[in-house]
A = this chain, B = another copy of it.
């Protein structure tokens, strides 16, 4: 059933039927009701391809997700972020076009989306300290929103969590507990969030007169194995750290495992603070938080990011939106006074 047939069956023009269904005012209430009833009865659904061509809007938002490096790893937090954003898209009538490509192919993916007209805007995730995507998208004139931000955080919309403050705060918390040798198990520091977290960590140490020790810091893609490996190395040396600051729960699980294998008890012999994105399948909250953590829901971020992006698409010339979310510090059972 298409519009023409529906119109014919009602003895009306396509124009009127289209207007009635799209809520235009110049249709009498009586006809509108008749049209709506008929549409429902016939289970009429406007053809989205035709509508998109006619309106020039794609009613679609693009997410380009890159997998990193040799491991081809897909960051698992994307699933929860997408779930949050997807909720809002569905509510607002937008589709979500997902493109998972290797890092090097991202630029082509964006260019294609822009030239193609298959999306009205794109979501940018996991920005690097210097990220070519920002400039590219500005040049392409495609509305976009960055979850996170780059060093240069001026001329575009972003939503970020206060990574620096979160990690400074977490470090201070450990310092207050008497820890002096605190390790940082960070994500890749080319990523903006990781660079900020490191700065927060270093600032807190320096403020107490402790010089950051490069030997206590590592940075890599945040898998469980990486957490395990990095912690094992540190714990097996002389002068091992008494506390770990870890950038993701997944890596923190590896760190915990390394500690346990060495007979160390969490919260007594060793302390761990992790950043917790509140992933649904790694609930840190189950029976009281296992890990002390800086916490901020990635899913909630996804929701809000979608809202801001849609707002931008509707009003491309509105002033830029910058939203900075504080992470909360949740005290769990993985921290305690320095031994």
- Whose C-beta in chain B lies nearest to the C-beta of A253? B253
Q: Count identical subunits in the complex.
A: 2
Given contacts A96-B99, A100-B87, contact A282 B224 (CB under 8 A): yes
Q: Which residues of B contact A283 (CB under 8 A)?
A: 71, 223-225
Chain A 55-86 interface 0/1 with B at a Cβ cutoff of 8 Å (1 = within): 01010100001010001111110111011001
Chain A 81-107 interface 0/1 with B at a Cβ cutoff of 8 Å (1 = within): 011001100100001111111000100
Q: How many residues of A contact B (CB 8 A)?
A: 60
A138 at the interface (CB under 8 A from B): no
Nearest CB of B to A309, in Å: 16
Instruction: Give Cα A250–Cα B250 distance, bound, in whole angstroms.
Output: 10
A207 at the interface (CB under 8 A from B): no
Are B90 and A101 interface neighbours, CB within 8 A?
Answer: yes
Are A280 and B71 interface neighbours, CB within 8 A?
Answer: yes
- Whose C-beta in chain B lies nearest to the C-beta of A56? B49
Chain A 251-270 interface 0/1 with B at a Cβ cutoff of 8 Å (1 = within): 00100110010000000000
> Which residues of A (297-314) have their CB < 8 Å from a CB of B?
none
A286 at the interface (CB under 8 A from B): yes
Are B101 and A86 interface neighbours, CB within 8 A?
Answer: yes
Q: Which residues of B contact A224 (CB under 8 A)?
A: 253, 281-283
Q: List 30 A-B contacts (CB under 8 A).
A: A45-B112, A45-B115, A46-B116, A47-B53, A47-B117, A49-B53, A49-B58, A52-B53, A53-B53, A65-B83, A76-B76, A76-B279, A79-B79, A86-B99, A86-B101, A90-B99, A95-B97, A95-B99, A95-B118, A96-B97, A96-B98, A98-B98, A223-B281, A223-B282, A223-B283, A224-B281, A224-B282, A225-B283, A225-B287, A228-B286
Give 10 nearest A-B pairs by CB, closest first. A45-B115, A225-B286, A86-B100, A73-B280, A49-B52, A79-B79, A48-B116, A49-B53, A98-B98, A74-B83
